[in-house]
């Protein structure tokens, strides 16, 4: 087991398309960090705080046309603001490690690229709501869109508003994540998510150790 240098809490995000395996990998990463003696908060967006969870329902259920892209972007950011204020920032200030299943790169990829709101427009809302704050490390789990969506088909919940959007939307979103990774090389790592769960997790842990542990 690697020795851990005592450092303050870190903010780690998992991003990618629907069914890319983010929740599965986030849980295993949290378990790994806990084994290393870290206090870990595992959270997700949209949601992860009072108010934010209510907004989640508004965003993820119902007809794909329920919101236009501006309306849904504002809702994602209203939810994100509570998530940061009530969950993420207090945890980081207390020295905990926070792992979030999705964060702001999802809005850029889904609304900015997928729904074609545009990079500059999303960035403006981001700057007002989040400011300079950013993750210490972002994994972008990449998988062919159809293969990812196929993995979600067994789900029984009704939070499928985005999963029901067409393939061209999902492909623009995937390309959007590649663009985000290119622009943010210092914090983003693209992970091939079309492999076995264990293989992916081994890669992700290696990255974590290289960045933060010595």
What's the closest the beta carbon of residue 98 comes to ligand TYD, in angstroms? Answer: 15
How many whole angstroms separate alpha carbon 22 and alpha carbon 14? 6
| Residue 46 beta carbon to ligand ADP: minimum distance, rounded to whole angstroms | 13
Q: Closest approach of Cβ 114 to ligand ADP, in Å?
A: 15
CB-nearer residue toward ligand TYD: 172 or 209: 172
Question: Could you say which of 10, 15, 18, 100 contacts ligand ADP (CB under 6 A)?
Answer: 18
In the complex, the smallest distance separating the C-beta of residue 45 from ligand TYD, rounded to whole angstroms, is 4
Cα 139 to chain center, whole Å? 8
Separation between Cα atoms, residue 79 and residue 74, nearest integer Å: 9
Minimum CB separation of residue 7 from ligand TYD in Å reads 27
Q: Pick the piece of the chain touching ligand TYD (CB under 6 A) from 14-22, 82-90, 116-124, 192-200.
A: 14-22
CA distance 143 to 70: 27
Q: Where are the alpha helices (DSSP H) in 184-196?
A: none
Q: Does 13 bind ligand ADP (CB under 6 A)?
A: no
| Residue 106 interacting partner from ligand TYD, ligand ADP, none (CB closer than 5 to 8 Å by kind) | ligand TYD
- Residues 165 and 167: their CA atoms lie apart, in Å, by 7
Binding footprint of ligand ADP, residue count (CB under 6 A) = 13
Nearer to ligand TYD, 23 or 129 (CB): 23
Cβ distance 43 to 88 under 8 Å? yes
Enumerate binding residues for ligand ADP (CB under 6 A): 16, 18-24, 151-152, 196-197, 200
């Amino acid at each position: 087991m690697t020795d851990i240098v005592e450092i303050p809490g870190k903010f780690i995000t998992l991003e990618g398309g629907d069914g890319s395996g983010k929740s599965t990998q986030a849980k295993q990463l949290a378990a790994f960090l806990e084994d290393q003696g870290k206090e870990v908060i595992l959270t997700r967006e949209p949601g992860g705080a009072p108010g934010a969870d209510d907004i989640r329902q508004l965003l993820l259920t119902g007809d794909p046309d329920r919101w236009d892209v501006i309306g849904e972007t504002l809702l994602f950011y209203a939810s994100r603001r509570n998530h940061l204020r009530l969950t993420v920032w207090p945890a980081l200030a207390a020295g905990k490690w926070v792992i979030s299943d999705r964060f702001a790169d999802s809005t850029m990829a889904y609304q900015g690229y997928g729904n074609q709101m545009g990079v500059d427009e999303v960035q403006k809302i981001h700057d007002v709501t989040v400011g300079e704050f950013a993750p210490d490390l972002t994994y972008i789990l990449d998988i062919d869109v159809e293969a990812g969506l196929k993995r979600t088909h067994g789900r029984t919940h009704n939070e499928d508003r985005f999963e029901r959007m067409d393939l061209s939307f999902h492909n623009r979103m995937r390309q959007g994540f590649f663009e985000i990774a290119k622009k943010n090389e210092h914090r983003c790592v693209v992970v091939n998510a079309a492999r076995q769960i264990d293989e992916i997790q081994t890669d992700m842990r290696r990255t974590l150790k290289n960045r933060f542990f010595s």
